Chain A
Amino acid sequence: MGKNLKFGISVNANDSLRGTVEKAKVAESSGLDYVWVSDSTVQLYAPIVAAAIASHTTRIRLGLGLMSPLLHDPQQIANSLITLCKEYGTRFDLCIGTGDRSQLFRAGLDLGNTLSLPAAIDKARTAIASEIRHAHLKTRIWLGAQGPKMLRIASNFDGILLNYSNPEMIRWAITRGKLRAGPKFTVGISAPSYVHSTMRSDIFELAKVASAIVALGTTRSVLRRMGILDEIDLLREKADRSPSLEEISSEIPSQIASDFSITKKPNDLPSYIQELSRLGVRHAVFGYPQCHSVETVKELADALARIR
Chain B
Amino acid sequence: MTSVSLSVGLTSSATDAEIASIASCAEQNPVHGIWTGEDIGSNKDIFLQTYSVMKHAPSKYVGIGITSPLLRNITTIARVAETLSEANPTRFRLGLGVGGLRDLERLGIAFTRPVQRLESTVDALREIWAGEVLSRNSEGIELRQYQARYRPETVIPVYLGVRGPSLLKLAGKIADGVILSGPVSYIEKAVRIVQNQRTRRTSRPPRVVAWLPTILTGRKADIKFAKTVTATVVADTPRSVLEMSDVDDDAIRVQDVARRRGYAAASSSVTDELLNHFTIAGGADHICSVFQSLGKLGVEEVVFGPPYGRRPLASIQEVAETWART
Residues of chain A touching chain B, judged by Cβ–Cβ distance below 8 Å, are 14, 16-18, 41-45, 47-49, 51-52, 55, 71-73, 75-76, 78-80, 82-84, 86-87, 105-109, 131, 243
Q: Is B198 an interface residue (CB 8 A)?
A: no
Which A residues touch B74, using CB under 8 A?
Answer: 108
Q: Which residue of B lies closest to A82 (CB)?
A: B43
A108 and B144 form a contact (CB under 8 A): yes
Bound together, the chains give a CA A225 to CA B47 distance in angstroms of 44
Q: Which of B45, B72, B149 has the most CB of A within 10 A?
A: B45
> How far, in Å, is A10 (CB) from chain B's closest CB?
15
Contact of A43 with B79 at beta-carbon distance under 8 Å, contacts A83-B16, A131-B43 already known: yes
Chain B positions 221-263 with a Cβ under 8 Å from a chain A Cβ: none
Q: Is B55 an interface residue (CB 8 A)?
A: yes
B51 and A48 form a contact (CB under 8 A): yes
B149 and A87 form a contact (CB under 8 A): no
B149 and A14 form a contact (CB under 8 A): yes
B47 and A41 form a contact (CB under 8 A): no
B73 and A86 form a contact (CB under 8 A): no
Q: Which residue of B lies closest to A18 (CB)?
A: B86
> How far, in Å, is B19 (CB) from chain A's closest CB?
9
Which B residues touch A71, using CB under 8 A?
Answer: 73, 76
**Which size class do B's interface residues fall under?**
20 to 34
Please, what's the 1-or-0 string for B40-59, where 1 marks a CB less than 8 Å from any CB in chain A? 00011101110110010000
Bound together, the chains give a CA A18 to CA B89 distance in angstroms of 12
> How far, in Å, is B26 (CB) from chain A's closest CB?
18
User: Which 3 pairs across A and B sit closest by C-beta, in order of nearness?
Assistant: A108-B142, A17-B86, A83-B45
Bound together, the chains give a CA A78 to CA B184 distance in angstroms of 39
Q: Is B276 an interface residue (CB 8 A)?
A: no
Which B residues touch A42, using CB under 8 A?
Answer: 75, 79, 146-150
B143 and A52 form a contact (CB under 8 A): no
> How far, in Å, is A12 (CB) from chain B's closest CB?
10
Q: Is B158 an interface residue (CB 8 A)?
A: no
Contact of A45 with B149 at beta-carbon distance under 8 Å, contacts A79-B44, A108-B141 already known: no
Which B residues touch A16, using CB under 8 A?
Answer: 86, 150
Q: Which of A43, A78, A105 has the most CB of B within 10 A?
A: A43
> How far, in Å, is A115 (CB) from chain B's closest CB?
23
Which A residues touch B55, using CB under 8 A?
Answer: 55
A45 and B83 form a contact (CB under 8 A): yes
Contact of A44 with B86 at beta-carbon distance under 8 Å, contacts A14-B149, A105-B144 already known: yes
Q: Which residue of A lies closest to B81 (CB)?
A: A45
Which B residues touch A75, using CB under 8 A?
Answer: 43
> How far, in Å, is B150 (CB) from chain A's closest CB?
6
Which B residues touch A84, using CB under 8 A?
Answer: 45, 48
Which A residues touch B82, using CB under 8 A?
Answer: 44-45
A83 and B73 form a contact (CB under 8 A): no
Q: Is B284 an interface residue (CB 8 A)?
A: no
Q: Is B326 an interface residue (CB 8 A)?
A: no
Bound together, the chains give a CA A200 to CA B237 distance in angstroms of 62
Which B residues touch A51, using CB under 8 A?
Answer: 48, 51-52
A52 and B51 form a contact (CB under 8 A): yes
Which A residues touch B86, using CB under 8 A?
Answer: 16-18, 44
> How far, in Å, is A74 (CB) from chain B's closest CB?
12
Q: Which residue of A lies closest to B42 (CB)?
A: A79
Which A residues touch B87, using CB under 8 A?
Answer: 17, 48, 52
Which B residues touch A78, using CB under 8 A?
Answer: 43
Q: Which residue of A lies closest to B80 (CB)?
A: A45
> How far, in Å, is A249 (CB) from chain B's closest CB?
16
Q: Which residue of B lies closest to A80 (CB)?
A: B45
A43 and B144 form a contact (CB under 8 A): no
Contact of A43 with B149 at beta-carbon distance under 8 Å, contacts A79-B43, A107-B73 already known: yes
Task: Give the contacting residue for B143; candidates A80, A83, A108; CB below 8 A.
Answer: A108
Bound together, the chains give a CA A42 to CA B51 distance in angstroms of 20
Q: Which residue of B lies closest to A70 (CB)?
A: B73
Bound together, the chains give a CA A243 to CA B133 distance in angstroms of 10
A72 and B83 form a contact (CB under 8 A): no
Bound together, the chains give a CA A153 to CA B75 distance in angstroms of 29
Q: Which residue of B lies closest to A41 (CB)?
A: B75
A48 and B149 form a contact (CB under 8 A): no
Q: Is B84 an interface residue (CB 8 A)?
A: yes
> How far, in Å, is A99 (CB) from chain B's closest CB?
12
Q: Which residue of B lies closest to A55 (CB)?
A: B55
Bound together, the chains give a CA A209 to CA B47 distance in angstroms of 31
